[in-house]
Homo-oligomer: A and B are copies of this chain.
C-alpha cells in the first residue's frame, strides 16, 4: 500500500513525499545517490549517519516499503542502493527549488533590512530556531483591482 495505484494521483504523490519527509531518510538517499551504481553496506550508512543500528534500520524499512531503495544480503551483511535513478532526480530538483527559495528570501531579508530595526546581524540571529519554515514577514501581498 505504500505506493498503490488505483488512487487519485495527488494522494499517491503526497504519500511519496511523506516517505521523503524525514532528515535521516533524505540523508541516506543522498549517500546512496552519491554512488548510483554501487551498493552501500549498512555499515557505511551507520558511519555516515552516526546512528544507532536499530534506529537506522527503522528508517531503512520505511524506505524499502516506499520502494525507494532495494536491499541485498551478501552473507552476513546487507547493502542498499536506490531503487530507481529517478529518486536521485527528485533530490536534485528539490535542491534546485530550495536554491531558488533561499536566494529569494535572502533578497527579501536584505530589502526589508534597509529600513526597519537593526540592519546588521539581527536577521541572522533571528533565524536560529531549528524546526521549520522561513522567517515570517507578512505573506499576502496586495494588488490593485
Instruction: Give me the interface of A with B, judged by CB distance under 8 Å.
Output: 1-23, 25-27, 30, 61, 64-67, 70-75, 78, 83-84, 86-87, 89-91, 93-98, 100-102, 104-106, 127, 129-136, 139-145
Whether the pair B16, A23 counts as a contact (CB closer than 8 A) is no
Instruction: Give the distance to chain B from A25, nearest Cβ to Cβ, in Å.
Output: 7
What number of copies of this chain does the assembly contain?
A: 2
How far is A135 from B4 in the complex, measured between Cα atoms in Å?
8
Instruction: Give the distance to chain B from A78, nearest Cβ to Cβ, in Å.
Output: 6
Residue of B at shortest CB range from A5?
A: B102
Q: 6 shortest A-B CB distances, which residue pairs?
A: A2-B133, A75-B145, A86-B97, A65-B133, A17-B20, A18-B21
Whether the pair A4, B134 counts as a contact (CB closer than 8 A) is yes
Whether the pair A133, B11 counts as a contact (CB closer than 8 A) is no
Whether the pair A25, B14 counts as a contact (CB closer than 8 A) is yes
**Contact A95-B13, Cβ < 8 Å, known A1-B127, A21-B18:** yes
| Candidates B10, B21, B97, B100; contact of A30 at CB < 8 Å | B10
Whether the pair A17, B17 counts as a contact (CB closer than 8 A) is yes
By a CB distance below 8 angstroms, the chain B residues around A87 are 97
Residue of B at shortest CB range from A20?
A: B17
Instruction: Give the distance to chain B from A73, nearest Cβ to Cβ, in Å.
Output: 5
By a CB distance below 8 angstroms, the chain B residues around A106 are 5
